[in-house]
A and B are shown apart, each in its own frame.
Chain A
Amino acid sequence: MNIFRVSADILHLLSILVLLLKIHATKSCAGISLKTQELYLAVFVTRYLDLFWNFHSLYNSVFKVVYIATSSMIIWYMKRHRGVKQTYDKDHDTFRYLFLIVPCAVLALIVNGRFSLFEILWTFSIYLEAVAILPQLVLLQRTKNVDNLTGNYVFLLGLYRAFYILNWIYRYATEPHYSAWIVWLSGLVQTGLYLDFFYYYLQAWKQSKKLQLPS
């Protein structure tokens, strides 16, 4: 375990908490894509299936449970909470999940480490995580005006990915047999998707004004 990896996990958790607190405090989920949240829950559930039989460390197990619980809470708020669900931007959040789920499932069946149910679900979760932010980015693009907390959420998620890349570089340099092409390539794609958003986020931050995406 290195400092990059720990920072990444904490940033990931922070991003989810920022979103959860925003929803809880403002009783509004305006600007948040339910599709992306549901895809993330699917990512966590398919990746952390081994929670029940593969114990690696308390650190890992606690994070797994917390990720599943907090993203379930976000979805619960958006779908079930009486006040919050009325603020959900259903008309703009129209991205089809099947466009992401089907290609990821097919790719996981073809390109995987070993042909077993657990391995294929795990690989599927790696591919799906790479693209799960797309409905959220499309929603931000459509609504243009991004409120601070939603902007911070996407920014923290991007930082989390960037720190995972640093972690891989560090591990590759220090651990003799460390190699994971599927994870690295997916991680690079995922981080790449944030770059455009990062550019506008940092510009808005430098000029200390509200984040506005171009048409």
Chain B
Amino acid sequence: AAGEEVKDEL
């Protein structure tokens, strides 16, 4: 889940 938060950045 930690990785998913990052992928909201460009």
Q: By the criterion CB–CB under 8 Å, are B7 and A50 in contact?
A: yes
What is the 8 Å Cβ interface bit string for chain A, positions 68-109, against chain B (1 contact, 0 not)? Answer: 000000000000000000000000000000000000000000
Bound together, the chains give a CA A62 to CA B6 distance in angstroms of 18
Which of A64, A114, A175 contacts B10, CB < 8 Å? A64
What is the 8 Å Cβ interface bit string for chain A, positions 114-151, against chain B (1 contact, 0 not)? Answer: 10000100100000000000000000000000000000
Bound together, the chains give a CA A167 to CA B5 distance in angstroms of 13
Total A-B pairs, Cβ < 8 A: 32
Indicate whether A53 reaches chain B with its CB closer than 8 angstroms.
Answer: no
Indicate whether A38 reaches chain B with its CB closer than 8 angstroms.
Answer: no
For the complex, would chain B's binding face be called helix, strand, loop or mixed by DSSP majority? loop
Bound together, the chains give a CA A164 to CA B8 distance in angstroms of 13
Total A residues in contact with B, Cβ cutoff 8 Å: 23
With known contacts A5-B9, A63-B10, A67-B10, A177–B1 Cβ distance under 8 A? yes
CB-based nearest A residue for B3: A113
Measured between beta carbons, the chain A residues less than 8 angstroms from B2 are 113, 177, 179-180
Least CB distance, B9 to chain A, in whole angstroms: 7
Bound together, the chains give a CA A57 to CA B7 distance in angstroms of 11
Q: By the criterion CB–CB under 8 Å, are A9 and B5 in contact?
A: no
Measured between beta carbons, the chain B residues less than 8 angstroms from A26 are none
Q: By the criterion CB–CB under 8 Å, are B8 and A119 in contact?
A: no
Measured between beta carbons, the chain A residues less than 8 angstroms from B8 are 56-57, 60
Residue ranges of B at the interface with A (Cβ–Cβ < 8 Å) = 1-3, 5-10
Q: What are 5 residue pairs bridging A and B, where the CB atoms are less than 8 Å apart in the complex? A: A9-B10, A54-B7, A57-B8, A60-B10, A177-B5
